[in-house]
Amino acid sequence: MAADNQSKQIRVEIVCPVQGPIFSGQADMVVVPAAYGDVGIAPGHARMLTRIEPGVVRLVNSGQESINYFVSGGFLEVEPTLATVLADTIERAADIDKAAAEKARESARASLREAHERIDRERAEYELALAAARIKALEKGRKGY
């Protein structure tokens, strides 16, 4: 019966060059923020390689609460039985400090208002996107989806 259950799951490896291995295990599905929206990866998915955008990586197992991570970017490599997330930086949603995340968002908004040069605006927009993604991960983590 265990082998049958594993065929309905995909192996997920989440690693970060700075932090090392983050997660190694099975999931029914992993949802990853890609360039054109969230990508759901289930067993048997076609091979692919894509850039990960700042957002929420979600591990889904039926009958269990999802595990959510904030990821600042990286790459996703998919094989039919394995999904590998190589994250630039990653943080478990449950570990995010809400006050610090909101402070970072406000700081990024202020930087965006004050930016006069294109490079300063782009940097402030990136920082704002990261802060918003961290807050979204935190909210999803608290709601359990």
DSSP output for 50-75: EEEPSEEEEEE-TTSPPEEEEE--EE
Q: Residues of the chain with pLDDT > 90: what percent?
A: 50
In degrees and rounded to multiples of 5, residue 103 shows phi and psi of -65, -40
Confidence of residue 2 (pLDDT cuts 50, 70, 90): very low
- For residue 77, the tally of other CB atoms under 10 A from its CB is 14
Angstrom CA distances, 123 to 2, 63, 95, 120, 135, stand at 48, 41, 25, 5, 19
Confidence of residue 125 (pLDDT cuts 50, 70, 90): confident
Domain 2-93 class in CATH = mainly beta
Distance CA 21, CA 86 (A): 10
Q: Which residue has the tokens 């094989």?
A: 79
| Tokens coding 118 | 């294109």
Residues 89-111: what's their mean pLDDT?
Answer: 87
